[in-house]
Amino acid sequence: MTVPPGLRYTPEHEWVAIDGAVASVGITDHAQRALGDVVFVSLPALGAAVTAGEPCGEVESTKSVSDLYSPVDGEVTEVNEEVNDDPGLVNADPYGAGWLFRVQLTDADGELPPGLLSADGYAELTKDAE
Amino acid sequence: MTDPEVARPRRTPLTAVHERLGATLTDFAGWLMPLRYGSEQAEHRAVRASAGLFDLSHMGEITVTGPDAADALDYALVGNLSALAVGRARYTMICAQDGGVLDDLIVYRLSAEEFLVVANAANTAAVHEALSQRAGRRSASAADRTADYALIALQGPRAAGILAPLTSTELTGVRYYTGQQAEIAGCAVLLARTGYTGEDGFELFTRPEDAERIWAALTEAGADSALIPAGLAARDTLRLEAGMPLYGNELGPDVTPFDAGLGRVVKFDKPGDFVGRAALAERAQAAPRRVLAGLAGQSRRVPRHGYQVLWDGKPCGNVTSGAPSPTLGMPIAMAYLDPDVARLAAGDAAGDRLAVDVRGTAEPAVLVPLPFYSRPA
């Protein structure tokens, strides 16, 4: 299982990459493995306000459906349209081509919500499942 | 945390093989089983296009033997097993007195006085107990032999071609729904032409100690035919596309064979009484309380087990199984519907009145005939 060191993580298995006041969000390698083949991702609408810890979409796989949680507060500025056409990108490249949406952070100082995990913390959280 | 009081799931004779293959394992009915090896959709497509290899050793094997074995099964099950020829197999059910389904079964007649009853893993103990009890004073005994068998399924259009070099048995002579003794890769097996995928294929009942050898021989023989191992996730979408019921979803103690559209398995014309006869005879005459129907989802959100079906926004049934269909590229589902709605929906040309409540949103669906998929003739 891959847990890139530069990212932050939620206990609900999203990753978030912070670049200035913009956060990119996806689901983790652990999550895509647990879900199996992703067949559809319902992404938040452009311009939607998202709140850390609140559901903002869904990930459908063959066997199950899971809520997608926003790791941060802000406004959705971009969604990955390629995932609409090819949901398998989430399985093939969860931290790259399978990214899901980008958020303009409400707190422009880059103050992140409490509760986000470091890579080590997330690896620790999921190690029992390996 | 591991609770020492919780029983660990049972391992099959092939669990170590699945671990070496990197399978995602899951606790299924008390057994540690491969859910998938890689992509379950790839495994599904391999079975449709070439072949897949399954470990089904969790399935229950119960033998019923003795001079009255056929009589005992005629009384215990809804089928006419005394009419089953040696070497043939039959799909049947075991019902309660009230006609509710306790399990669906495949029964193989191994000899005049020996039958092999294959039950779902979750029901094996209950089926064994019911068969023992229902044998009564007849000269027949039921034994749970699950631990004495591994069960390997080779399914797909290339199954026969893969198997042929490993056996001297002429496979064209092994017809659908038959089972016979054979030698595969030097090991004695019961070779059956049965399955749960909607494809041609074989099920091999082997000794546990031979399972790894046979699995390896099949894997090697299938290497040039795009054979891959397939897990329970693919098995579920394969059987759903083929319109085959699953116990716990389409079948259960509150469902009769008639509700499931499988009234033909109930043989009222067989000699003697059988458990559930009176209740089932009543159900055979009565108008159906509900009908099992196929639905095709018109959005990308998938109707799943337990979701409500809506007609003009009002509840009219429940989804029993649903999944994204790898073959059709759309969500499919089986559901029990109010019979009146099923009739109206079949004639609803516009197709805008039927929907499934997918977590609070009515997603449009249309009625489609079962099965969703039939293999090319």
Instruction: Quick: pLDDT tens for B92-127.
Output: 999 999 999 999 999 999 999 999 999 999 999 999
Tell me the pLDDT of chain B averaged across its residues. Answer: 96
User: Per-residue pLDDT for B1 more than 50?
Assistant: no
How much is the average pLDDT of B140-165? 98
B233 touches chain A (CB under 8 A): yes
pLDDT of residue B179: 97
**Is residue B2 predicted with pLDDT exceeding 50?**
no
Question: What b/e sequence results for B310-340 when a residue is b if at least 16 CB atoms lie within 10 Å of its CB, and e otherwise?
Answer: bbeeeebbbbbbbbbbbbeeebbbbbbbbbe
Q: Given the DSSP bridges, would you call strands B141-144 and B60-65 parallel, antiparallel or unpaired? A: antiparallel
Please give the span between the terminal C-alpha atoms of chain B, in angstroms, as a whole number: 52
Calculate the average pLDDT of chain A: 93
Across A20-29, A112-121, B91-100, B229-238, least confident range = A112-121
Query: Percent of chain A, pLDDT > 70?
Result: 96
Measured between alpha carbons, how far is B131 from B126 in angstroms, rounded to an integer?
A: 9
3-state secondary structure of B281: helix
The complex scores an ipTM of: 0.91
Render pLDDT for B177-187 as a digit per residue (tens, 0 to 9): 999 999 999 99
pLDDT at site A119: 95
CB contact under 8 A, B39 and A60: no
Backbone Cα Rg of chain B: 21
Whose CA is closest to A25, among A1, A43, A49?
A43
Top-level class of domain A8-106: mainly beta
Q: If you count DSSP H runs as helices and E runs as strands, how many of each does chain A have, helices first? A: 4, 9
Best of A62, A91, A127 to mutate (most B CBs within 10 Å, chain B): A62
Structure tokens at B169: 């048995």
Rounded Cα distance between B355 and B338, Å, is 14
Q: Is pLDDT of B3 > 90?
A: no
Residue indicated by tokens 């039939």: B374
Residue B347 pLDDT grade (very low, low, confident, very high; cuts 50, 70, 90): confident
Q: Mean pLDDT, to the nearest integer, of A96-111?
A: 88
Per-residue confidence band for A109, with pLDDT thresholds at 50, 70 and 90: confident
B305 to chain A, any CB pair closer than 8 A? The answer is no
Reported as a single tens digit per residue, the pLDDT across B36-50 is: 999 999 999 999 999
Measured between beta carbons, the chain B residues lying within 8 angstroms of A92 are none
Q: What is the 3-state secondary structure (H, E, C) of A70-123?
A: CCCCEEEEEECHHHHHCCCHHHHCCCCCCCCEEEEECCCCCCCCCCCECHHHHH
User: What percent of chain B clears pLDDT 70, i.e. is strictly above it?
Assistant: 98
pLDDT of residue B191: 98
How high is the pLDDT of residue A129?
61
- Which of A:7-66 have CB within 8 Å of B? 33, 36-37, 39-40, 42, 58, 60, 62-63, 65
| pLDDT reported for residue A114 | 81
For chain B, domains (ranges, CATH) are: 15-57+149-241 (3.30.1360.120), 60-147 (3.30.70.1400), 287-368 (2.40.30.110)
Instruction: State how far residue A1 is from chain B, nearest Cα, in angstroms.
Output: 12
The pLDDT of residue A8 is 96
Instruction: Pick from B19, B301, B319 the residue to mutate for testing the A interface (most A CBs within 10 Å).
Output: B301
Cα distances from B115 to residues B73, B74, B88, B130, in angstroms, run: 9, 12, 10, 15
- In the three-class reduction of DSSP (H, G, I as helix; E, B as strand; rest coil), residue B205 is classed as strand
Q: How far is CA B232 from CA A50, A62, A65, B26, B292, in A?
A: 37, 12, 18, 9, 23
Contacts of A33 in chain B (CB under 8 A): 24
Looking at chain B, the whole-number percentage of residues with pLDDT higher than 90 is 95
Q: What is the pLDDT of residue B5?
A: 56
Tell me whether residues B323 and A63 touch, CB distance under 8 A: yes
Kindly list the residues from chain A whose CB atom is less than 8 angstroms away from the CB atom of residue B324.
39-40, 60, 62
- Contact between A26 and A90 under an 8 Å Cβ cutoff? The reply is yes
